[in-house]
Structure 1
Amino acid sequence: MASDAALERSTLRKAALRLLPLMGLGYGIAFMDRVNISFAALQMNRDLHFSASVYGLGAGLFFISYAALEIPSNLILARVGARRWIARIMFTWGVIAVGMMFVRTPWQFYVMRFLLGAAEAGFFPGVIYHLTLWFPAQHRGRAISRFYVAGPLASAFMGAVAGSLLGLEGRLSLSGWQWLFLVQGIPAILMSLLFLLYLPDTPATAKWLSSDEKRWLETGLAADHALTRSPGEHNTFKALRDPRVLAFVALNFMTLGAYYAFNLSAPSVLETATGLSAGRIGFFVSIAGLMGAAAMIFNGWHSDLRRERYLHLAAPLLIQAACFAVMASTHAPVVMLGAYMILITANWAAAAVIWLIPGEILDPRSVAVAVAGINGIGQLGSFVMPYAWGLARDATGDFHTGLAALTAPYLIAGAIVLVLRQGHRRRLLTVAPAA
């Protein structure tokens, strides 16, 4: 029998190579289809005569249905398996993403964004939960950051190609924003087939793992579960009443709401602030995405190395608060672009760590529901804040008020993380003597 060290290396290498590229590509497409509306808005709002309020409401409606269906979706995934359920999710959201090209009225825009959120609901928390079945806690930061890095890379790709797709204005009698939805929606449909064919539901069903590798993985995961499993009767939904889960719901509400309020209008904000073309703005979005990808990989790796999550999360949250304060107080294009790029870099650095904590502090039987609850309920902020942003933009005719307001959510989120850190340290001191 191979040594434990050799088994560890071979098992994790196989799991990483077989799972992370597939899941990362799926998430990259999901992220792109969710936020490509921000580039489409440069033409769509003008062509369809949408006000900032109409756009903000429609952009945010995605997150209402997304939030409502997160927990049911993860419960179904846990029952039927990730392979079939994630394939279903990708196929339906791909069809609806393409259908966005046929929108003509505000109500059609509202309905399609709502349906897109319903179709995509469950993909992200489903993947996060699925990865907890494959990677022990001490390796999870690197695994999740390598999957999650597809988000900033998708942002970089979208920034690079959005200008070209918008430049297809008039080809085959389609507007540029229609080409954007068409070209970026089709990959999700194709990817659904890859998930159906190649994603195993559990390590036990993975033909590419040897029996010794399966045994090593089972032992490692069992050791993690022993640290978090609660004794006695278990109620899955009780996890949603755990104060730590509620704190993460509030944290996610603040950060996701503020991020999407800004990001769904970022190209328009940068266009107004700098006077640059859509292609030039896309270039800076791409560079920020690449910086974010590097920050995500580093923060996930360093968090694993130090076995510390809370400071690795709080620091980038507070940096984002500072960036919004700078952007709100300047009219200088260079300062605006610099603050934007640091903001996006810090956002993805935080994203590398935020989903590591629930899997390490909760009973493993509760993780699927807890992650879905944190992500789903927290996503309500992604409806409230973009709509409020649009109302503020229409009322003031300017984006600086909205930028200033977005400083507060990140300050509150940073404070929540530091309070959770103190509670975590007290729990460790309580458990230490028994160990």
Structure 2
Amino acid sequence: MPDQSYDGPGTGNAALVSAIRKAKLRLIPLLLTMYTVNFLDRVNVGVAKQALQSQVGISGAYFALGAGIFFVGYAVFELPSNLILHRVGPRVWMARIMITWGLVAASTVFVTGNVSFCVLRLLLGIAEAGFFPGAILFMTYWFPSAERGRVIGLFYLGYPLALLFGNPASGALLDLDGVFGVAGWQWMFMIDGLLASLVGIGVLFWMPDSPDSVHWLEPGEKRALRAAIAAEGEEKRVIGRHSLLDAFRDPRLLHFIAIYFALQIGSYGVTFYLPNQVSELVGRKIGFVVGLLSALPWACAIAVNLFWPGLAVRLNRRRLFAVISMLAISLGIAVSAQSPPVIAIAALCLAASGIISAQPVFWTFPADHFGGVAAAAAFAVINSLGNLGGFVAPNLREWADHHFAVHGAGLYALCISGAIGALLVLLLREPKVAPIS
């Protein structure tokens, strides 16, 4: 193992704590901005659902197909994208991802029917492939295991922030319908997409590749952080969790994929349809007011996520906390299916809190398990195959609603995934992580 003792003032454990504090202050705002814009471009299609159906003629079945086919392109190109990032560095590659997906997202303004809608959603998935696992991999370059749960939890705030502010903002853009002869949904896709490209350009200037490439860490802080990360990597190499082959022959990889797949079915089953569900509950067309009401569940999710992942790591009870979050998804979805508006929205707040809090806790397991190239490959495979749950979710919901003569059948079908995910999490072994103090 690398030597973690240092000589001279400002080194050793105090230097590591200082380095981590500086890295959080410098990197988390950037990562949070990137993920917020990323998720907005992924899910704003749910806000545009009514307009796309009434103005462009997108059918319910093709909307579900287009919402889900994004994840097919995403899955196919995820692994090569993350391996490229591991080789060339995160700065250039993450900027490339954001710029290209922003341009593709903005091109949704040219949708004219079912086929063009599905094609552009497929291209959006291809352009975006590698962003999320690349961000998780980037965090393993900077933050030791004991800090990773808190950092991933803060990063995951981008998901609900995109929906908290994005749903009202996107609803307001829909209200621009007809301004300069442009439909409201076209304004929404154009502005959201170009925003992503602008942030991508900023990444070229602001994102560092590694601790060694920055000027804001002292030499002792760089050594301390480098040694802590290297020590974890060496431990994973010794026990066979570091190479590309190690990742694919480890049975735990399939276990992680199955958990994440179940989680994404519940996640996107709610996310893609929440504005439409709230619209039906309150009897109003999707616009600013419905967007504002649709933001309430994500405000609750932000409040929970500010403490939940960090508490799970600090108490060494990540498995228990993840199970509770997964069960909250199922219960919230089930109760929202046939309840009065106030209770249904409260139930959606519970489901959204479970969706957001479960995911950062989950990612600490594969991040602690894999290192090096194995981590780059594993994160990509888990995210790409697990995110196929985002393809299954809208199609499962659409199928159940039409197949069963029961109101809310699609929601009941989705809530099963949370229970399955909770059972799979119970089968994980929970490693003990020593705190950094």
* Fold similarity call, TM over 0.5: yes
From 8, 13, 36, the equivalent of 2:16 is 8
Task: Tell me by how many angstroms 1:174 deviates.
Answer: 1.1
Task: Tell me by how many angstroms 1:251 deviates.
Answer: 1.0
Tell me the SS of whatever aligns to 2:48: helix
Q: Which runs of 4+ in 1 moved over 3 A?
A: 3-6, 230-235, 391-399
- Matched with 1:431 is none
Per-residue deviation, residues 370-418 of structure 1 (Å, max 9, x unmatched): 1111001111121122123233445568760100111211111000000
From 327, 333, 353, the equivalent of 1:318 is 327
Would you say the 8 A contact 2:15–2:220 is kept in 1?
Answer: yes
1:172 aligns with 2:176: no
Alpha-carbon separation, structure 2, partners of 1:119 and 1:261:
23
Tell me the SS of whatever aligns to 1:388: helix
Change (3 A) 1:110 1:398: farther
Q: Which amino acid aligns with 1:181?
A: F
Would you say the 8 A contact 1:264–1:386 is kept in 2?
Answer: yes
Q: Which moved more, 1:288-297 or 1:57-66?
A: 288-297
1:221 aligns with 2:226: no
Alignment of 1:185-196 (within 5 A): 185-196=193-204
Change (3 A) 1:397 1:102: farther
Tell me the SS of whatever aligns to 1:229: helix
- Matched with 2:253 is 245
- Matched with 2:95 is 87
Task: Tell me by how many angstroms 1:277 deviates.
Answer: 4.1
Alpha-carbon separation, structure 2, partners of 1:90 and 1:190:
8
Q: Which moved more, 1:226-235 or 1:376-385?
A: 226-235
Alignment of 1:12-411 (within 5 A): 12-231=20-239, 235-278=243-286, 279-328=288-337, 330-394=338-402, 400-411=408-419
- Matched with 1:432 is none
Would you say the 8 A contact 2:83–2:373 is kept in 1?
Answer: no
Tell me the SS of whatever aligns to 2:68: helix
Tell me the SS of whatever aligns to 2:127: helix
Normalising by the residue count of structure 1, what TM-score does the alignment of the two structures yield?
0.93
- Where structure 2 has 5 or more consecutive residues not aligned to the other structure, the ranges are 1-8, 433-437
Task: Tell me by how many angstroms 1:235 deviates.
Answer: 4.2
Task: Tell me by how many angstroms 1:212 deviates.
Answer: 0.7
Normalising by the residue count of structure 2, what TM-score does the alignment of the two structures yield?
0.92
Q: Which amino acid aligns with 2:425?
A: V
Q: Which amino acid aligns with 1:285?
A: S
Question: Greater share of helix residues, 1 or 2?
Answer: 1
Per-residue deviation, residues 269-304 of structure 1 (Å, max 9, x unmatched): 221233134233212222222221121121122023
Q: Which moved more, 1:285-294 or 1:274-283?
A: 274-283
Alpha-carbon separation, structure 1, partners of 2:406 and 2:191:
32
Question: How many residues get paired?
Answer: 423
Alpha-carbon separation, structure 1, partners of 2:270 and 2:401:
12
Q: Which moved more, 1:217-226 or 1:400-409?
A: 217-226
Would you say the 8 A contact 2:336–2:347 is kept in 1?
Answer: yes
Q: Which amino acid aligns with 2:25?
A: L
Per-residue deviation, residues 242-261 of structure 1 (Å, max 9, x unmatched): 22211110111111123213
Q: Which moved more, 1:226-235 or 1:159-168?
A: 226-235
Tell me the SS of whatever aligns to 2:215: coil
Would you say the 8 A contact 1:230–1:363 is kept in 2?
Answer: no
Q: Which amino acid aligns with 1:343?
A: A
Would you say the 8 A contact 1:39–1:162 is kept in 2?
Answer: yes
Q: Which amino acid aligns with 1:110?
A: C
Task: Tell me by how many angstroms 1:93 deviates.
Answer: 0.4
Q: Which moved more, 1:259-268 or 1:177-186?
A: 259-268
Q: Which amino acid aligns with 2:308?
A: N
Alpha-carbon separation, structure 2, partners of 1:14 and 1:42:
45
Tell me the SS of whatever aligns to 2:238: coil
- Where structure 1 has 5 or more consecutive residues not aligned to the other structure, the ranges are 429-435
Task: Tell me by how many angstroms 1:232 deviates.
Answer: 6.9
Would you say the 8 A contact 1:236–1:369 is kept in 2?
Answer: yes
Would you say the 8 A contact 1:324–1:404 is kept in 2?
Answer: yes
Q: Which amino acid aligns with 2:188?
A: L
Change (3 A) 1:139 1:384: same
